Structure 1
Amino acid sequence: MLDLGFHQAAGLHSFTPQAELRMLAVVSQGNAGSGLETLWQICASLQRLGYPVVVLDGTAQETDNSPGLLHLLQHASWNDGAQLNLGATASSLAVIPAAKGLQHLSRKAGDTTRSPMENLLPYFRTYGLMVIHAPASTLGPLLTHTATVPLVVMGGGSAGVMTSYKSLKQIALHTGLPCMVAALLHSNTATERHKAQSQLMALQACAERHLGGPVRTTTIATQNPQELQRLALQLLENAGTMNGSLSALPSSTLADMPAHFVRSH
């Protein structure tokens, strides 16, 4: 009667990688340097958690010398599940040029009642996580019919607030989805953190007034591995599951994590 099926490792079982392919979305903006570095750090953190990650980089163009997503979609001979030959660029983190391929899928998104990303499932089912990194104008149509909450990395100053707001607006117009906005702290001083929080509050107020919905925000010290892991776990919580329909990750998956790992600031 007292056997409830719980034990000391029960919390860890909820993080055991599952068979489904999950999709994360990261909006690329003008802050290419810091934004890309943070993206690679997030992916490394997810891989340490046991999730094989593939990144479809919508900021990198496919070429004959550097084949990518467009080649995968256009060449019927690859439809048998053959893998991309990344050659000298291959690494433990699979990064595939995808600018043209994602734009192609984005243009076709309005012609179906299903997520266009489901078409990629046969090619990447051996991975645990697919990270889509692309401009908001490309990402917006791709996220229709999904439950994925995209990440916007906010740059510094008023320009960063305006650029982030434009990205939020483009995502909202296409999908109605909320976004999570992360402000990066490079020195992590009290002054820098206070300034970043003020910018996030301004962005929240603007989004609530003009877009009609709340925005989740957080500050991340880029030199702090624990904060980067927290951001990775928040993205995992916001992922959609590509198993025939892009549904939200069950909320119970992160229910047992300490509050400071899952809440937004």
Structure 2
Amino acid sequence: MTFLSRAARPAAGGSAVALAVAAALLAPTSPAYAAANAVPTYEVKINLTAAALDASFAPSAAVKSAFGITGSAKARSYSYYDTDGLALDAQGWSVRLRHKSGSSFEETYKKRFPVTNGDIDAALTTANAAGFDSSDTNYDAEVDWGYAKQTLSFSNEKSHSSSGYSGTTMPTSTTGRTWLVNDVPGKLENWGGTGWGRTTLQASRAHGPVTSKVYGGAWGPSDDASIEVLPVVGANGTGTEYVVELSFKTGSYADAADLHADAIAVAESHGWLYHGDILKTQLILDRY
């Protein structure tokens, strides 16, 4: 209970307004609470070596059987947009334009936060301070869990009509950039300063396109398993290398941990495991 001192009490017959003002000044202030941290889903991403592919550069029958891959190949083409100096990437942002056969173009604006020593909660708190919290339904939070590395990301997904584009055909770099600039979300547009993201994206170009094949299935606690086979130009600018990524999506941390351990164990036992993490985004930005 709050007591007014004798000096603070209004004189007999004094204004009721004065009493109200005094009470308001002395009333406890309710603390302001920020929105809670976002709740992420999980995607386990394990790279396999070329030993996992058959002579046609598709996952071998043994690999498909081991990881529950039953679907036929589906093509997708995509490019990442950034400046020649990779200014967006330097701020943890990536902007992707992707085209799956028979679908609209997908525009993805993604902000990444590193996860240090497996402390996902700390990464979520850092993201919260940057404006990415549970109240923002425009962004989906996800933890990418690789062989040895975890990354927290927040993705804003938009679409653009694919009318006039057959298969997985991509637009010119200039056309794709125009679409992406027109749809740039507010968090990127004003990242680090008013209009920074829009201006930076206007100076970007397409890194790519690349076209991969994806094979789907289900394995263990994940009903969303896949293997993506991505051909990329060699590091010296010639030849072709194949990136093979095994992935599983789940909403459960416990399931993700099990999938991560089991997938590594199975791949290792068959001699398919790549002992490291290949970030496709970085690879494409660097080589195209």
Larger gyration radius, structure 1 or structure 2: 2
TM-score in terms of structure 1 length: 0.28
If each structure's helix is expressed as a fraction of its own residues, which one has the higher value?
1
If each structure's strand is expressed as a fraction of its own residues, which one has the higher value?
2
Higher RCO (C-alpha 8 Å, min separation 6): 2
